[in-house]
Amino acid sequence: MELDDAILKRVSIRRWKPVPVEKEKIEKVLEAGRRAPSWGNTQPWRFIVVQDKEKIAEIAQAAGGQPHINAPVLIVCCGVPNDLSRQQHRAALAHLRDMGVMDWTDEFLDQAIIGSEVFAPYHLGERVMKAKASENIMIAMAYMTLEAVNQGLGTCWVGAITPEKVHKALNLPDDIFVHELLPLGYPDEDPKPRPRKDFNKIVFWEKYK
């Protein structure tokens, strides 16, 4: 499927066929997320694939009982702020430098990482690190969403959750936070794409209005 077709075809799915999703397709969706860009290539995401019906139902209750969460597959999208720590961030950037992606000396790398809030979100505290991790997770989720369409599957972003309850249901470690849920399965509906704002109302050239 062409990328343009996947973008135009993507819609939020809330009804699922009661059939399992092939592991190969799930892995292709996850691989799309793994290939997404991230801040300094830190990749501060973790994806937990849940297929057990009872566990999915438990997680659904942590999301207010939303029925569309009960898909054959539930991808719990989590973040690891520590991946944006000074040590992890510097290691990721040094790896890019060593691959020839960036022409940075050790001195410049250390000055940028140690002295700049622009390059190093850990300077601004864990709240900012968590926010930056969340931004990166959403990019990965967008990639996974489009690959799901390419595989003939549907998704629905679910952010209306109680993260602490999902965290407890999965017995996650303290250094991981739950960001959003991504139900995945074969659609049992064919909704029309939702309307979008007019192009000229959201795009501006050189200046705003």
Per-domain residue ranges of the chain: 3-84+126-193
Tokens found for residue 147: 């690959």
Query: Under 8 Å CB-to-CB from 64, ≥6 apart: which residues?
Result: 160, 161
Count each helix (H run) and each strand (E run) in the chain, helices first: 8, 4
Q: Smallest Cα–Cα separation from 44: which of 53, 59, 60, 33?
A: 33
pLDDT tens-digit readout, 99-140 = 887 777 877 777 766 666 666 666 667 788 898 899 999 999
pLDDT tens-digit readout, 45-100 = 999 999 999 999 999 998 899 999 999 999 999 999 988 777 777 787 788 788 88
Residue 198 to residues 6, 9, 68, 135, 195: CA-CA distances in angstroms?
20, 18, 29, 25, 9
Mean pLDDT of the chain: 90
Specify the fold of 3-84+126-193.
Answer: NADH Oxidase (3.40.109)
Name the one residue in this structure whose structure tokens are 């990721």: 92
Query: Under 8 Å CB-to-CB from 16, ≥6 apart: which residues?
Result: 68, 70, 71, 72, 154, 183, 185, 186, 187, 188
Partners of 45 in beta bridges = 79
With beta carbons less than 8 A apart as the criterion, state whether 129 and 83 touch: no
pLDDT tens-digit readout, 183-205 = 999 999 999 888 999 999 999 99
